[in-house]
Amino acid sequence: MQANILYGVGLSAGRLEEFASASGVGYGPIVADLPADGELDGATVLAASLDDECFGEIIARGVSTCIEIGGLDVPTVAASLRLARSSSIFISLTNASAYRLQLAHRVVQALSHRLPLGEERCYDLELALQEAISNAVIHGNLSVQSLEDPSLSALARFSSEVEERLADPELANRRLKVTVQLAEGGTTVDVIDQGPGFTPGARKSSVASGRGISLIETIVSGWELLDDGRRIRLRFDQ
């Protein structure tokens, strides 16, 4: 295990030291670049920014914490590093990155690195997580309303609104976090956004792009909304 090692991507050693010192976690060693090969089992990675190739490599090598810095200040990064210590897996991305990266797939990849998951189980986990993450990114952080009209013109307007809001730096830089707790009885995954919150109402069968709660319910062992709807907690029994 490399639980106390802090790696950086696109960040100087001095900047990493600043984050580590502020967190009070006691990292060591602190390394400004990823090693060329080998497992990074349990390590923490701070990245200035992420593309899917880099993110995929980080997760595939067994990292337990991955934080994309974006525009975060030192106290916020330090708080995230402390929070991550209580999670089996902790991922924090900008909303723009959460939208374009294969986040649900990478979370399942991280889980399969730690648990014996069959192909069907991986598929179900990814489907539920994709719904939860899409909800958090689009309906939460971007505050785009559900698409109720299934027409092509309505879909075009919906897609245009998503792209327009992603072009807003304030919305694009909101955070999307995924935390995972592994326990003997099962796995708990929290998907957390910084949107205005969400209170479930009556479900409409005609909604073409909604919160996907009905689909999630068919897959998970249990779920609940917390923090006024900014956090959805999914439970998967062993």
Alpha-carbon torsion angle 77, 81, 83, 86, nearest 10: 170
What's the pLDDT at 221?
94
Rounded-to-integer distance, Cα 224 and Cα 181, Å:
15
Q: What percent of the chain has pLDDT over 90?
A: 81
Residue 104's nearest CA partner among 89, 118, 116, 83 is 89
Q: According to the model, what pLDDT value does residue 205 have?
A: 52
Omega before residue 29 within 30° of 0, cis: yes
Does residue 206 have a pLDDT over 90? no
* Burial tier of 160 (Cβ tally within 10 Å: 0-12, 13-18, 19+): exposed
Is pLDDT of 204 > 70? Answer: no
Percent of all residues in the chain with a pLDDT value above 70, rounded to a whole number: 95
Q: List beta partners, residue 47.
A: 9, 68
The reported pLDDT for the residue numbered 150 is 78
Burial of 200 (0-12, 13-18, 19+ CB in 10 A): exposed
Average pLDDT in the 191-219 region? 75
Would you state the pLDDT for residue 116?
87
In order, the DSSP letters of 95-119 are: HHHHHHS-HHHHHHHHHHTTS---H
Instruction: Read off the pLDDT of each residue in 50-64 and give the average, rounded to a whole number.
Output: 96
44 and 27 in contact (C-beta within 8 Å)?
A: yes
The whole-number pLDDT of residue 105 equals: 97
Are residues 137 and 129 in contact, defined by beta-carbon separation less than 8 angstroms? no
pLDDT at residue 223 tops 80: yes
**What does the pLDDT read at residue 203?**
54
| pLDDT mean across residues, the chain | 92
Phi, psi of 122 (to 5 degrees): -60, -40
The single residue listed with the structure tokens 């924090």 is 92
pLDDT band, very low/low/confident/very high, at 209 (cuts 50, 70, 90):
very low
Residue 77: pLDDT band with limits 50, 70, 90: very high
**Residue 75 or residue 206, greater confidence:** 75
pLDDT tens for each residue of 126-185: 999 999 999 999 999 999 988 777 789 988 999 999 999 999 999 999 999 999 999 988
